[in-house]
Structure 1
Amino acid sequence: MKWIDITILLLWIFAWSLFYQIFAGGVIDESCKTGCSCCVRETCGPSQGFADACTHGCIDGHAGARCYRTCTSNCKSCNNYETRCENCYDGFYLGGNNDCKECPANCKTCISYTKCTACKEGFEDRDGSQACEYSICPQNCICNKTSCVSCKAGFYNTTILCVKQCPQNCQTCVSSEYCDKCKTGYYNGKEFDIASNRHLNNCTYKCRVSCISCSSYNSCLKCFTGKYGITCQERCSVGCTDISCAMNLGTCDCSSNFSGEKCTECVYGKYGNMCNKSCPVNCKSNFCDRLSGNCTAGCVKDTIIGDKCNICISGMYGEHCNTHCPENCRNNKCTKDTGTCSDGCKRNFDGTTCTECINGRFGEECEQYCPQTCANKICKKQSGNCFQCIGYFAGDKCNVCKSGFYGPNCDQKCSFNCFNDTCGTDKGVCKYGCKKNHSGDRCCLNNENCVECSSNAKCKKCKSGYFNSSCKQRCQVKCHGSCDFITGICGECITNYYGQFCDLTCSENCKDSQTNIRLCASSNGACILGCIDGFFGLACNETCSNLCVDSVCTRERGICVKGCTGQYHNPVCLPSSGKPQDGQDDSSTLAIIAVLSTLLVVASAALCILVLKKIIKKIRSTDRQTEESVFQVHYENSSVGKETTQTEDQTAVSGEENISYEILDRTDIATEHTYDTANPNVIESTPNIRNIEYENFQL
C-alpha cells in the first residue's frame, strides 16, 4: 500500500512539471518543432521526459526543455520554468518586474533609462552626462564611425569638417566656384545659352519658367504639368488624362470622349473644346466640326436648315419642323426645338412663346395696364391680379391696405388705440371702435369726449358740451349744444340768452314767443319776433318817439307807422298833407324807396346813352369840317368873366387839337384852366375855373 502512494505522488509531480513546461510562460514558436532549430548547436535528444529535449540549452529569446517557448518581448534569455526575464537584448535593460525596458535613444546598453553602459557608434558622453546625447560626427559631415568621409548637401571640404557652404543655388559642390549638382530650377553653363556669354559652374542661371529642371536654358529635363517639348513650350492637349503628356512628343492617354495620339480629336458624335458636347441630332451621319459643331456633311432632311441643322423654315418648329410658330411671334419666326419666338413678340406681348404680357400689362391683347400698386407693376395676364403688392398694400389688385395701415399710399399706421388695430383705408377711422377709455373716429384721446380726430394723437372736434384739444373743458352751461373747439365760444344759446358765452339775457322788449323758441338771436341779441309796441332797434332797446300815434314805429329806423301827433317836420314822421298817416308801415316805405331808386337808375342810364351818342355824332361831324376852328384856352392867371362870343362863321377846333387840349388839361403844368370845344349848336361859352361839370361833359 505504501508503494502505491509513492508511485501516485511521483506521477503527479511528473505531470505537473510537464504541464508547466508546455503551457506556462511565452508563446510557442512553431518553427522550433522541427530539427532542434531553437537548441544551441541544434543539438537535442531524450531527456526530461522528451525525446527532443535540447542538450546544451536554448538559443536567445527561447526557453523550455525543447526551447519551443519564446521569452517575453525584448528578452534575450529567460528562466526555463518561470516567465521571468534574466537577460535583455542591447538597447533594453532589465526592469524591476523582470521585464525589458527601452534604453535612451543613443545607448547601446544601459542599466536604467538615464544611465548608459555603452553608447551607439557616433555618440558619446561629455561633461558627466550618462545618456550618450553627444554626436562624435561633425555637424555638416557624413561619418564612417567617427571619421568625416563626405559632406552633407550644401557643404564642401571634408578636410576642414565641411564647414564651408556651397553657393546658394547648389545642391552639392566641390568648391565655391564649381557645383556638381544644382538645385531644381538652376543650371551650369551660359546665360540663355548664348555663346558669347560667360560660362559659370556655380548654378547661377535659372531655367525657363516652363521648366521644372534643365541641363541648359534651351534643354529642359522636366516640364511642369501640361507642358512638353525640349523647352517645354508646347501645351499638352486638354484631352490628355490629368493634362499630362510625354515630354518629347506630347503623346498621352486620352480622357473620355477624346481620341488620337495626342488626344486632340473628339470621338465620333462629339465636339467642343472638351469634346463634351454632342453633335446636333439632325447632322447627317452624326458628324460635325470639332470646334464649331457645324454639320459639315449637311442635314438629315431638306426641311431643316442652318449650319447646325437646328433651324426650321420660316413659320415652323419642332423636331421635324411640322408645327406652326405661336401666333404672337414677331415676323412669324421661332426656334426649332421649343417654338420660342426668335425675333421677339408683337406689341405688348412677352414670354418665350409670346403668350404673356409685358410687365405692366394684362388682358387678352395685353391692352390694359396693371395696377400701379403691383410689385414691379407685374400682374396676371387674364385677371390683372397682382402677384405681389408694394409697401403695405393688399388685395388681389393691391387696392386696399394691409391691416393696421391706411392712406392713399397705405403708408400711415392706424391708431394704436383702434380696436383690433384696424381702420378705414381712406381716413384711418377705426372700423371697430376704440380700446377702453379712448374716443374719436381715430381713437386719438384717452377720454370719451372726442368725436373727430385730426391725427392719431390730436382731436379736432369734441362731443357736444366740450372743447379744447384735450376735450376736457366744458362749454358754458347756457350754450345750446356745442361751442367753438378752440375758444369755447357758444354756437347757439338756450332760450332768453345770447352773447359769445351766452352770459347776456335777451331784452325784455322782445316780443314773446312760444315755448322753447328763443326770443333773441344768440349772436347779437336781436329780437327774433320783433319788438313790443313802443320800442325799436335790433335788440328793441330804443324807445319810439312820443310823437308816434299809439307809440308804434318801424323796427329799423323808429319811423312812426301810424303817423305823428302835432308837428310833422320831425324825421320820424312820414310826409303827409297835414294829416296823420295810417295804414302805412315800414314795408310800404321800403317798396316806394326801391321803385324810386330803380327809376333813378334807368333815367341815369338813358341820359348816359344820349350823351354818348351825342359825342359820337360830334366826332363824326368834326372829321368833315374844315380845318378852321375857334378855340380858346384859359390859363390860371386869365381874367374871369371876360365874355367871348362865337359865331357860326368862326373856324371850329379840329378833333386832334381838341384831344391835345384834353391832354394838356390833365398835365401838371396846365393847372387850373378850362377850354372850349367847338360846337355849332353852342353860340356862346363862358369859361370858369374848376368847372367840373363842364369838363366832365367835354370828356
Structure 2
Amino acid sequence: MTWLLLILLTMCYNSLCDDQCFHKPCACCRTSNCNMNSTCENGCIDGYWGDSCFYTCPVNCINCEQNSPSVCDKCHDGYYNGFWHDGNSYGPWTDNCINKCNPQCKSCYYYQHCKECADGYYKTKSVENCTLPCPQRCISCISESDCTECKPGYFGINCSQICSKGCDTVECDKKTGSCNCTSNYMGETCRYCKHEKFGTNCDLECPENCLVCNQSDSCLYCKPGYEGAMCNQPNDQTTKRQSTHAPEYNKDNKTLSIAIGSMFGILAVVTIVFALLFWWRRRQRRLKKQQKIIKRMERNTFKASSSSNAPFEMSQGYLSNTLNEN
C-alpha cells in the first residue's frame, strides 16, 4: 500500500495531477454518473484519466483512455498517432501523440496528409501535404488567389492592395480598406488630405490665400483676388467684378421681366379659356331649351293639322317668333 502511495505522489510531482481535479471526487467526470467510490462511470473530461479522473493525460493529448493514459484518442494540433515519420524514413506505431506533423500542417491525419494547413500554405484535393505557398501578402489562404487573412498593411481578395498611410494603424479592413484616419487625412480609406492640408504626407499647411489644396503641391481654388499654383499672385478680379456689376444687374432685371411677362401671359390664356368654356356651356343650354320648345310646338301643330291649314300656318309663325325671342 505504501508503494502505491509513493507512485501516486511521484506522478503528481511530475505534473500528472492537477489542482482542478486532484482530491476533488467527481469534479472531472464527463457526466454526473459518479458512484460512492468516486469512480467516474462514463469517463473523464478532456485531458484527464483515472477512475476518479484525478490525473492529466500526456502533454500532446486532448483526451486519453480512462485507465490507459498512454493511449490518446485525440491529439493537439501538430501531432498525430500512427507510424513515426520524418519525411525520409518511418518508425514504429505510437498512439500517445508524440509524432509531429509535417511543418506545413496545422493538424494532420499522418505526416504527409494534413487536416488543416499552417499559416502561409494551402492544399488541394491532389496536394494534401500543404506544400503550396499562399501569395506573399497573405497570412492564410484557400487558394493562390483567395486569401482568408492579409498581412498587416494589405487588403483585397488576394491582399494585393495597400492600406493607406493615412490610417491610424498599419491595418485596415480586409475587404474595403476602410480604417480610422490620422488627423491630417479624411475619407473612408483615409487617402485624401483635409482641405487645409497638402503634400505627399498631408503634413503641409495650405497657403494663406488658398481655399482648397490638392494632394501634391498646388491649390485647387484660390480666394477672390488671387491666382497662381499657390494662390500668391494678385489679379484684377475685384476690378472686373465691379466693371461687370451693371451688365449682371441688367441681365437679372431682364430675366425678372421675362418671368413676370410669362406669368401674365399664362393668366391671360387661362382667362380666355374659361370665357370660351362659359360661352359654350351657355349656348348648349339655349339649344336644349329651343329643342324642347320645337318638340312641344310640333305636338300642338300635329293636333291642329287635322281640321284646317290656317292654324298650321299660324303655328309656324308662332314657332318662328318663339325661337327668335329665345
Quick check: which one's helix share is greater?
Answer: 2
The structure showing larger relative contact order (alpha-carbon pairs under 8 Å, at least 6 residues apart) is 2
TM-score range, shorter chain: 0.3 to 0.5
> Per residue, is there more strand in 1 or in 2?
2
